[in-house]
Structure formats: structure tokens, C-alpha cells
Structure 1
């Protein structure tokens, strides 16, 4: 892979990013045949040791309705389910996909529910331990940045689940088979987690490939409004969909995990829901995504404040991320580490590590581009702190306004 001219974007890069919208889009779609593009995805992990959200015990004779927001639209959809962390085969007895009657609502639009089949028409599927299953194409037109409701009925005990801890979106659990019901009332539980659903693809004539966001809680949406799809990658998807014409626009797949580290697994601190290290999950969460063409890396702050790693250790891990992505022919963009003074784990020594990593990131790192999240989020009067207008209140995670500012700083043409 020939390295491109390195691009640095921060506050000064906002005008460049906005000016590039038309250039990024390309010509009209014409007679180009449709292609399958990833439009939504999430990173799944081993269950909580404390059985949070029934993730360890699992489900039996229950339905789960999950609301997800796609990035690109299309004429058909297909779904990918995983049993990566199960202890035995997973049976999906019945699955459907439909359109919520209102944003985040478990009640669906009349006439929108479509049956999901597998292997050329089967209503059920077995997902073997450690494996995935891809559904048949479903004829359901979806608009870009709209929501889908995916419902699965699990007839037999699942055991340990494959889940996403901090979904920032409510999933609804029902007794029995409720997959075909448009009425979303009567749930027995409501959890802010995703289960088993790893990805959604759309058949599109205008989308081309996917951008994968490999990050931590900053990208996973901690601090954002629950159920509002205000993570910064959501805002990025909205910007991409606002370009005209749209040929070549990528889908956005957010595989960020709260608490994730570059080089250390969550299980090492008794928190498997934080996921394997970013280096350990490159194959599954990045390289195996449909049509991945670029990866945005937003990682490192947890290595600083959770594990107390040195700058040299963190930099070595980030170098490996860049090298392996380049070896797979991917364009790479990296973010600096944002400020966190005022957060419970902050110390002057950890601040020095953060600054050292950022100094390296602003140099010649091997990444194709840099978006300076630190410059965007910091308070000019107190650079080790988050700007109050962008602070969610915990002094490390941006609020919705801060997330919008991060998304606005990403040059679309670089993706």
C-alpha cells in the first residue's frame, strides 16, 4: 500500500472537511448494479460475570426486539448473527425485521414486518458455538440514517450470550414468540444492550464499502443521550448521507467498546464486557467487515487511566494497529487522546503519558490521517480538562454537542 499524504484535522480542519463534500461524492449512479454494503454493526463480547442484562444466563422461550440505526439506505437488507461467546449451539426459532412506528419504539409500522429466512428459505437457524449466520436477503427498503427493529425468538435455553454492554439503545424482551407482532407492549424486561446481532447490510447502488470505527467509550457513546443516536459516529453517518450526489459514500460501522484498550483484555481486570484488546479483535471486528475500506482508530485513553501503561507501550500498540491495517490495504485515520482531568482516575503522571502519546500521534505515525480530538474537546483555559460546553458531566466523555463537534472535524474525503 502506498502511503498517502498525511492529513491533520482539528479545529482548523472543519472548513476543509465541509468544502470537500461535493468532491467526495462523485458522479451519479447511472446503471451501476447494487452491491452489499455494511450499514450497521457492533462489537460483541463475552457476557458479564455478574449476569448483567441476563447476559450470562441467557434466554429461553423469549423474544428480543432490538432497535438499530442504519447509516446507508438500500432496497434490501440482510442480517448477521453471532454466537461467538456461546457455550453451545444457538437456535434462532423465528426472526423478523420491521420499521419502528416512532424513533426507538418497539411498536412497528403496520405492514412493515418482514420474515427473515436463512439458507434459502428456512424460518429458523442454528448458530454453532463460535460461529456466525447470515440471513437471506429481505425485501425491505430502508432510508439512510433510519431505524430498523430486529426481533429474534429464542425457543431453547441459550446459555451465555454474545452481547454489547453499552448499547445506548433499549432492547425489549418478551415471553414467547413475539417476532411477528407489530405491538411492542407487554415486554418483561428492557435492557440497554445488544444481543447476538452483529451486523446489518443493505443492497445499494450508491454506497461503496464501509468505514469501521475502532474505538472505546468516546465512540461507543458514553455520555450521549440514551436512544437518540447521538454518538459521534452517528453524526458522521448523517454527514455522509448529506453529501450529494451520493455515489461512493461508505457505510459507517461502529465497533467501539466502552473500556476497550489497545493492548489489554477486559477479562484481565475481571470485566469481559470491555472486550478483547483492540489488537486481538482486529480480524473479527475490522478486517472481516463487509467491504471495509478504511478504519478510524480512537483508542488509548483506557490504557492510560485504567492500566497505567507507559507512553511507549501504548505507542507500540498503536503502531501495530496502523501496520496491520495497512497490510490489509485499508486507509487509516487516528484520533488523539482527549482530556480527562476531573475524572476519578486522573493524575498528573497519567496526564504526562497522555501528552506524550498525543505528541507522537501528531507526528509521522504511519496513519494516513489524524483528527485532533484533544484539540477539539479541550478547554483552552484548562487544556487538561474537557471544555464545559462539551462535557457530559463526568469530565472525560463528550455530550451530544461535543460528539457533533468531533464528527464535524472528520474530512469525509479521507474516508
Structure 2
């Protein structure tokens, strides 16, 4: 019953040797038998005491000089399990932050682990993993330095320029980075140089050195990205920066003068814009003040004209009510206004009377006597009878007393 319940499967009825117990027995016998053969005297004759099944050393599994412990199935099984566990633990690996793990099985790509921390692949040597840094930003520079001529480019107008650029990149696809091309960094450098030659070769020297310094590096980046997509190298291009662009040493002085002239022109332009920004607001302010003053004058003149029009309207009403009185009053007021502004007053007392100049503001210095002019344009024959009238007052007080005025319709009115 004990043998029937052997946990290692040593069933006496199983004679085909396929049970686990029989396999362990064969393994133990093979190990111990090999040890007996190598540790014995080698004399296996019939008369030898060390040969035969009755040899106690052979029965105990010990040679003449080496003692092997007796191993049972229960002792071997844990050892095998531990060995399998140890071998399986070789498939455990730790993936750092910012890394991708490219897993291989029998040398063939299996998958890419992207989760940081503990990951598992097939145990060594069946499986392997390559950790690729995809988080770090790397830098690659090309240009003319230390006697290197890789930065010398020929422009479209057949001028040689020396340029130096740097590209910042990182690995975007770990699988493509490892398996698509050999030496991907070298491929990146050669592609960058080719892109620079293409852009600079299609531009003029002034554009490369001065006018387009901020533009053509972006064109280099676009060209580089498109070319790398065809190669499928797995790079992500962050940016391309221009470090230096200059003419060769032999003509550098002439190019410096040209650059200085352009800088002076730009400086003068900025000064002119500053002057414009200073004077233009002042001119606009003055123009606005003039417009406002004109608007004020406009309103004043309109109000004055409106008042005059209203006065004439009122005068029209008075004239319609008493035309003769209104007409005479207007005539008298007009004469008063005129006499206040002149120094001489001419009074005609008759048809052929001489013209008398009366000083309004006093004095006789400016008093003159002139003969009257007849309606036909002839001189008055009695011009010699003219008299000088002297006035001693000023203003309206010195005006002569006029009793009769002749109206416009030749009617005499009595005041």
C-alpha cells in the first residue's frame, strides 16, 4: 500500500518508465553510476573483490576514495523546482522612467514594453531585452570647426559660406531605432548635412548670411523631418538652431562692411519711426484742436447769422406796420454809424450849394471845402462862394442840425 501511494509516481505496475519517479530514478542512477565508474580501480574481473554485485562499496554507491550521499526522489524534486524558479527569474527586469524595453525571443522582436517598473520576458538565453532611452533630448552639431569642412556650402549665386547648425532630437520609436538602420546617429548627421546643402544651395548669399538667418534653419528642419520619415529611423526632431553663418576668412571683412551698412540702415529706419511716433500724435492733437476751434467758430457764426436774420425779420415786421417811419429810422441810424467812423462830414444845403467838410472829432486841420458836383458832372459856377464851416465839438454833438431829409422816393419828411 505504501508503494501504491508513492507521491512521486513509483507505481510498481508501471513498467514503461514514463512516470516522474522512474525519470528521477534513471537520473539518480546515471549520476551515481558514472561516479562509481570513475572512482573504481578499473579491475572488473571475476576474481576481483571490488567487482561484482556483492561489493559493498558498489552496493552503497561509493567509490574507494569518494563518498556520495544517497539522494532520494524527495530530495531531488525541490532542487529541480528551485533551479527552474531561479532560471525563470532571469526574465524579470526593471524598466526605468523614460525608457522603452524592446523584448526579443530567440533573437526575434516580440514586443516593446513601455510601462516603467517591473516587467517580464522569456528567461535567458531564450529571451533578451534592450532598454532604449526615449525621454532624453540629445544634441547633434555639424559645421566648420577645427579644420572640418563639412559646414562649407555653395549658394545659388556661387558664393561659399561656412555654416554651423545643431539639431535637438530624441528617439520616438524604439523598434525602428534598433532594427531599421545601422548607426542611426550617423544616418541623422548625413541627412542633416544633405538638408543644409539643399536649402543653402537654393538661396543667395545675402539671404543665408543676413536677410534669412531666422528663416532658412526652419526649412532645413522640415526637409530633415521629411527625409527621415522615408528612412524610418524612429527619431523625433525637436528643432534645428543656427549657431553661425559667415563668409570665408578671405572675404569676411567685405561681408562685415555690408552687414554694418544694413545695420545702419535698420537703425536709421528705427530712428525715423521713433521720430514719426513722437511727432505724429502732436500733429494729430493740433489738427484736432483746429477742428474743434473751427467747429466753435462755425457755431458762433451760425448763431450770429441767425441773430441777424431774426433782426431783419423783426425789422420786416416793423416796416410792414410803418414803412415810412421805419425807413427814416434806418436812414438816420445808418448816418449815425457812418459819422462816428469818419473825420469829415459833408452837408449839402441846396442843389447848388458847396460841399462842406465838417470835422467830427474837432479841429480845423482836416477841414476842407470842395465845390459841389452837379448831376451832369459839371462843376458849380458858384464854387468861389464856398464857405468854411468850423466845428469845435466831437462826436454826434458837433453834427449840424438837420431839419429836412430827402427820402429815396424824393419826398421831404419833417423830423
Structure having the higher strand fraction is 1
Same fold? TM cut 0.5? no
What TM-score range do you get, normalising by the shorter chain?
A: under 0.3
Structure having the higher helix fraction is 2
What TM-score does the superposition give when structure 1 sets the normalisation length? 0.16
What TM-score does the superposition give when structure 2 sets the normalisation length? 0.16
